[in-house]
Amino acid sequence: MIYFSTNKSSIPVSLKKATLEGLAPDGGLYVPSEIPHFSPEEIKNLDGASFNNIAFAIAKKFVGDDIPLDQLSDMIDTCYNFDTPIVPLDDNTFVEELFCGPTLAFKDYGARFLARLTGIFAAKEKRLITVLVATSGDTGSAVAYGFQGIPNTRVVLLYPSGKVSPLQEQQLTTAGNNVHALEVQGNFDDCQRMVKEAFVDPSLNKSLTLTSANSINISRLIPQSFYYGWASLQLKERYDHNSPIFSVPSGNYGNLTAGVLAKRMGFPIGHFIAASNANDSVTRYLTDGRYDPHTTITTLSTAMDVGNPSNFGRLRYLYHNDHASMGRDITGISVSDKETRTTIRSVYDRFGYLMEPHTAVAFRALEDYRSKKEAAEGAGIVLSTAHPVKFLEAIEETLGKKIEIPSNLQELMEKKKSATLISSEYKELASFLNGLDQ
């Protein structure tokens, strides 16, 4: 499998090179030369398959000859030693709980796969890889734990000061070992901009081998398609539902892009809802075809506070910059903080189910979509991207009740934070990175 840059100015590369570079030299995002396809017979053969078997079937089509298949199979079994439950709320509404991994967030699916793949490739190259990550919360903690102790790698996390939850910050700043946390005086877009500047800084790239573990890295994105394939087949097998609608909490749009990959591969997926908060740049594009990103707005669903999402470039590439074509697969719906809180309360009252803000945004967007008569039919799957305990303050304030914290997380909250405070000026990031080997 060969990978191209969305900017079309860099030479095609292998998965190994795309993984270790993260961002293409021309500043574009890597995409596969072709999206591998499952025939109807191949899909049928996956009936009754485990999550790991479905993950392996998908991964081997993207990996090709870059690593032996037995090593890939072992890697997947190591990555996904936790469940991916699909919880019915009613006959047509389901929640896919993607928070059962070690950091209680969906980012574990991509980060653990990428960490192990990077470790394998770094060992082959006999290089020390510096993994540079901008995070609005859960990416950083998943990467920190995913890469913790992986040989030939070190991780530098940039997160916006005061704009992640206390639990997320503890996960980001207490991993230690080969993980360094930078607390940036700015917003997520500042963190993302600084990371992009580092990748195209020629002087920095002479001394360091940089890669990214954000969803701009194609090897973070590919494994996120696994749970779309799994859910679509589970709904068919267990509940006799075909071609479900996926409602996806959308911030940097990597999660949604992975869903589009799964649909293009041939998995039985009907439609997507790009559920956003007040940061609705893509929602507005899907409505009128104009992309006009605004400054980031702080909301209750903090991990989705992205004004100019990187993966939107991949989405536009996959749809050949055709607004109408994208709109046939994806409906954008924006949800306010007030609506988010109302949804957390109503879902708890109706189903006894506890939702954190990001999941609530996706649930409300699905309800809004269904309120349109022509869209009322069909099963819906809400992606639940984080465990409610990661957003305790928001949930407790909304419901007016205390939520019990698991003992292992209580121990985490008592650990000492270790982070370096920097401004949003790129020169401070460059200085930190240049000082890592001193």
Q: What does the pLDDT look like over 113-150, one tens digit per residue?
A: 999 999 999 888 888 999 998 887 777 888 888 998 89
Q: How far apart are CA 361 and CA 341, in angstroms?
A: 9
Task: State residue 193's pLDDT score.
Answer: 93
The CATH class of the 3-26+57-69+107-219+416-434 domain is alpha beta
Give the model confidence (pLDDT) of 297-330 as tens digits. Answer: 999 998 898 889 989 999 999 999 999 999 999 9
User: With bands split at pLDDT 50, 70 and 90, how would you rate the model's confidence at 189?
Assistant: confident
Give the model confidence (pLDDT) of 202-215 as tens digits. Answer: 999 888 988 888 78
Task: State residue 27's pLDDT score.
Answer: 87
User: With bands split at pLDDT 50, 70 and 90, how would you rate the model's confidence at 403?
Assistant: confident
Compare 394 and 406 and report the one with higher pLDDT: 394
Q: Region 356-379: what's the mean pLDDT?
A: 88
- Contact (CB, 8 A) for 219 and 30: no
Respond yes or no: is residue 107 known to be catalytic: yes
pTM (predicted TM-score): 0.89
Q: Region 414-429: what's the mean pLDDT?
A: 94
Catalytic residue among 8, 16, 60, 107: 107
Q: How far apart are CA 229 and CA 219, in angstroms?
A: 17
User: With bands split at pLDDT 50, 70 and 90, how would you rate the model's confidence at 438?
Assistant: low
Task: State residue 373's pLDDT score.
Answer: 61
Task: State residue 112's pLDDT score.
Answer: 95
Give the model confidence (pLDDT) of 146-169 as tens digits. Answer: 998 898 999 999 999 998 888 889
* Residue 374 scores a pLDDT above 70: no
Domain boundaries, the chain: 3-26+57-69+107-219+416-434, 83-106+221-399
* Residue 266 scores a pLDDT above 90: yes
* Contact partners, residue 51, CB within 8 Å, separation at least 6: 80, 83, 84, 226, 227, 230
Q: What are phi and psi of 287, to 5 degrees?
A: -80, -45
Q: Region 380-400: what's the mean pLDDT?
A: 93
Domain 83-106+221-399 has CATH 3.40.50.1100: yes
Q: Do the domains 83-106+221-399 and 3-26+57-69+107-219+416-434 match in fold?
A: yes
DSSP string, 339-353: HHHHHHHHHHHHH--
Q: Region 286-293: what's the mean pLDDT?
A: 92
Task: State residue 352's pLDDT score.
Answer: 95
Give the model confidence (pLDDT) of 4-23 as tens digits. Answer: 999 988 899 999 999 988 88
For 98-160, strand residue ranges (E) read: 129-134, 153-160
* Residue 376 scores a pLDDT above 70: no
Burial call 74-96: b when 16+ CB within 10 Å, e when fewer: ebbeebbeeebebeebeebbbbb
Give the model confidence (pLDDT) of 348-366 as tens digits. Answer: 999 999 999 999 999 999 9
- On average, the pLDDT of the chain sits at 92
Task: State residue 428's pLDDT score.
Answer: 96
